[in-house]
Amino acid sequence: MGIKRPVREALEVIEGIDGDQWVQNEFAGVRLGNERLSKRLIESVRVQAKMPGEAFSGAAQGNGALVKGYYRMIDKPDDSAITMDAYPRTAP
Q: What pLDDT is attached to residue 28?
A: 78
Per-domain residue ranges for the chain?
Answer: 34-86
Whether 92 shows a pLDDT value over 80: the answer reads no
End-to-end CA distance of the chain: 46
Say what the pLDDT of residue 22 is: 78
**Rounded mean pLDDT, 33-42:** 84
Predicted pLDDT of residue 44: 92
Residue 59 has a pLDDT of 94
| Amino acid at the residue 8 | R
Percent of the chain with pLDDT over 90: 21
Question: Which residues, including other chains, have CB under 8 Å from residue 58's CB and lie 6 or more apart?
Answer: 51
Residue 74 contacts by C-beta under 8 Å, 6 or more apart in sequence? 82
The DSSP string of 30-60 is: ---SSHHHHHHHHHHHHHHHHSTTS-HHHHT
